[in-house]
Chain A
Amino acid sequence: MIKFDKVSKVYLQGQSALQKISFHVKKGEMVYLTGHSGAGKTTILRIITAQEHVSLGKVYFNNHSITDITKQDIPFLRRRCGMIFQEPHLMMNKTIVENVALPLLIQGMSVEQIVPLVHQTLLKVHLEGKGNLYPINLSTGEQQRVGIARAIVNKPLVLLADEPTGNLDPHLSAEIFSLFTKLNEEGMTILVATHDISLINQFARRTIRLKNGNIISDGPFNLKDY
């Protein structure tokens, strides 16, 4: 599903973020990206969604090379990736339903098609009944779940999460991770960047450890490594 082949990334200012890294995330896998701050986790996710170009190497998404994707194709790539961030990035002047409906609206779906999909998705993240509220009326954890609902509403091929629990207390964080594992069990491919070792330990999956832009281990999670 996602394949990095000897990918290097040097930012314009000269910082080297990734050094010839290779890995392959298969369809239906759930994988963690860990490593110290500045290790290159966000850079990897941004490359997958074409927010950054690679400096060297090749990246494949769903068997297509996205290394030299054209500007016009970028929106269509992004429609197949659900993205979650530390901040939910909601539209504050739109209701929860409108926020979640956004990825469907921009694809030109009709309201009749959108409403049931949004409903199902809100059910999945346990926000049923909050659809007509505005983000300001929700707690931080609820807002984050709106962000997740928006990321998965159009059934993307992969879900990419960048420190999705950075702002949440341990209890809420565990709730979000259990939601991820549930989505993964339903068949969604998921890539989560996090440095919350206790959560990874709790929901153990394949873990790619980064250090200064290099992969130092890739395999089942092992608490002894930390």
Chain B
Amino acid sequence: MNKQTGVSSLRTHINEAKNAFDAILRFRFMASLLTIAVIGISIAIPGFFYLMVKNVSLLADNLSLEKNITVYLSAQTSNEAVNIFANTLKKDPHISKVRVILNNEGLAQFERAIGMETGEVFAENENPLPHAIIVTPGNDAQTQEELTKLVQYINSNNHVESVRLDKDWFTKINSFINVLSFLCFFVGVILFFSLLLTVINSISNRVILHADEIEVMKLVGATDNYICRTYAYMGACFGGLGGFWGIWLATLALFLTSIFFDELTQAYGFDYSMQGFSFGEFIFLLLFSTLSSLVVAVFSARRAIARIELVE
């Protein structure tokens, strides 16, 4: 038989891919559009959740710079002892800033806050408030583990009564991220099946519509593999176009969200702008959509093609 050269076979493949692309545009255009739209949505919704997870996580990382540790010292501690302790903390490489609030300052603040003198209530030297030191961890103490170590270290000092690491927001954001991640995964799995079913349906329909042609091709000696190729390329085209559309949709949704998000972050005084898909993520999504559509197209085309035989 005729030995084909690598170049001519590559050209045949390119040609067939082009024909498949033409076919989905020319033939049953609305059906093609619908298939691409469904694939797009199957990619867009989990893609959007992914972007939210990514942005909220990034934002949380940025926020952690603002995280403080409040150290309460026992009321009996002398002002000098407080300052000495504050100075040792200042020298610690894991700590970037230390602010001391002596209990009389604390009381003054308290009085200002409630708008009355407390002199009549508390006798001299009977200030009920503890001394406080507000510690801002340095850049090398940002993870949960490092912060816990720092807290333990501070706690080991005799004067320290209690240490409070303000991590409520951290837990809150983390659980929010967990919910988003779960949604992303859950919706992703469900919509992945909808993507597969759409491609299966669309490709099998086309095989059935082309049954006459396929019969002829079989009779002149086309292998199932050869016939399948057109549909494989069709599947890849669906997946590629659908993926592209989905990525665009998710990015659009992110842009709309960012309008509200920016307002929110600015209200809290953060400077953060939302991130879309990175180039790597873009390529990954496109490949994922294209390849999974290709694989499932091959699978459904092979099944449908095998069933066709000429009956005269």
Residues of A near any B CB (own CB < 8 A): 42, 46, 49, 51, 72, 75-79, 83, 85, 89-91, 102-103, 106-110, 113, 150, 162
B9 touches A108 (CB 8 A): yes
State which of A72, A79, A110 has its C-beta within 8 Å of the C-beta of B220: A79
Among A110, A113, A162: residue with most chain B CB under 10 A: A110
Q: How far is the CA of A101 from the CA of B1 in the complex (A)?
A: 16
B1 → A minimal CB distance (Å): 6
- Known pairs A49-B219, A89-B215, A102-B220; A110 contacts B312 (CB<8 A): no
Q: Complex Cα distance A76/B35, Å?
A: 36
B119 in the interface, Cβ–Cβ < 8 Å?
A: no
Q: Using an 8 Å CB-CB cutoff, how does the interface string of B1-25 with A read, 1 for contact, 0 for none?
A: 1101100110110000000000000
A115 and B151 CA atoms in complex are apart in Å by: 82
Chain A residues in 8 Å Cβ range of B217: 102, 106
In the complex, what distance in Å separates the CA atom of A51 from the CA atom of B312? 10
Residues B4 and A75 in contact, CB atoms below 8 Å apart: no
Q: Nearest Cβ in chain A — how far from B225, in angstroms?
A: 9
Contacts of A162 in B (CB 8 A): 312
Distance of B208 from chain A, by nearest CB (Å) = 16
Q: Which residues of B contact A108 (CB under 8 A)?
A: 2, 4, 8-9, 12
Q: Which of A75, A102, A162 has the most CB of B within 10 A?
A: A75
How near does chain A come to B214, taking the closest CB pair, in angstroms? 10
B216 contacts the other chain (CB 8 A): yes
State whether the Cβ of B213 lies closer than 8 Å to any Cβ in chain A: yes
* Beyond A75-B222, A83-B219, A113-B2, 15 extra complex contacts between A and B, CB < 8 Å: A51-B309, A72-B223, A75-B218, A75-B221, A78-B220, A89-B216, A102-B220, A103-B221, A106-B223, A106-B226, A108-B4, A108-B9, A109-B2, A150-B220, A162-B312
Inter-chain contacts of A91 with B (CB < 8 A): 213, 216
Residues of B within 8 A of A103 (CB): 220-221
Scan residues 207-235 of chain B and give those whose CB is less than 8 A from a CB of chain A: 212-213, 215-223, 226
Chain B positions within 8 Å of A109 at CB level: 2, 4
Select which of A51, A72, A106 is within 8 A of B221 by beta carbon: A106
- Indicate whether A102 sits within 8 Å of B216 (C-beta atoms), given known contacts A51-B310, A78-B221, A85-B312: yes
Sample (19) of A-B pairs whose CB atoms are under 8 Å apart: A42-B312, A49-B219, A51-B309, A72-B223, A78-B219, A79-B221, A83-B219, A89-B216, A91-B216, A103-B220, A106-B220, A106-B221, A106-B226, A107-B2, A108-B2, A108-B8, A109-B4, A110-B4, A110-B12
Q: Name the CB-closest residue of B to A42.
A: B312
Q: A208 to B83: give the CA distance in the assembly, Å.
A: 119
Closest Cβ neighbor of A147 among chain B residues: B216
Roughly how many angstroms separate A150 CA and B219 CA in the complex, as a whole number?
Answer: 11
Bound Cα distance A77, B12 (Å):
23
Closest beta carbon of chain B to A214's beta carbon, Å: 22
Q: Which residue of B lies closest to A80 (CB)?
A: B221
Cβ contacts under 8 Å, A79 to chain B: 220-221
* Bound CA span A77–B223, Å: 11
In the complex, are the beta carbons of A75 and B309 less than 8 A apart? no
- The complex places the Cα of A90 from the Cα of B212 at a distance, in Å, of 9
When the two chains form their complex, are residues A106 and B4 in contact, meaning their CB atoms are under 8 A apart?
A: no
B216 CB contacts on chain A under 8 angstroms? 89-91, 102
B64 to nearest A CB, angstroms?
61
B306 nearest CB neighbor, chain A only: A71
The closest CB in chain A to the CB of B310 belongs to A51
CB pair B2 A75 closer than 8 Å = no
Instruction: Give every chain B residue within 8 A of A77 (Cβ-Cβ).
Output: 221
Question: Cα distance A51–B310 when bound, in Å?
Answer: 8
Q: Which residue of chain A lies nearest to B27 when distances are taken between CB atoms in the complex?
A: A93
- Checking B8, B221, B222 against A110 with a beta-carbon cut-off of 8 angstroms, the contacting residue is B8
What 0/1 readout, one digit per residue, does chain B (180-220) give for beta carbons within 8 Å of chain A? 00000000000000000000000000000000110111111
Q: A89-B212, A89-B215, A108-B4 are in contact. Are A83 and B312 (CB under 8 A)?
A: no
When chains A and B are docked, how far (Å) is the Cα of A103 from the Cα of B2? 12
User: Could you say which of B1, B217, B220 has the most chain A C-beta atoms within 10 Å of its C-beta?
Assistant: B220
Q: How far is the CA of A51 from the CA of B309 in the complex (A)?
A: 8
With A and B bound together, what is the CA distance between A85 and B220 in angstroms? 12
Within 8 A of A (CB), among B265-312: 309-310, 312
B2 to chain A, nearest CB (A): 5
CA distance A150 to B223 in the complex (A): 17
How many Å lie between the Cα of A113 and that of B3 in the bound state? Answer: 11
A83 CA to B221 CA in the complex, in Å? 10
Q: Chain A contacts of B9 at CB under 8 A?
A: 108
| List of A residues within 8 angstroms of B219 by Cβ | 49, 78, 83, 89
Instruction: From B5, B221, B222, B312, name the one whose CB has the most chain A CB atoms within 10 angstroms.
Output: B221
> Please, how many angstroms separate the alpha-carbon atoms of A133 and B9 in the complex?
27
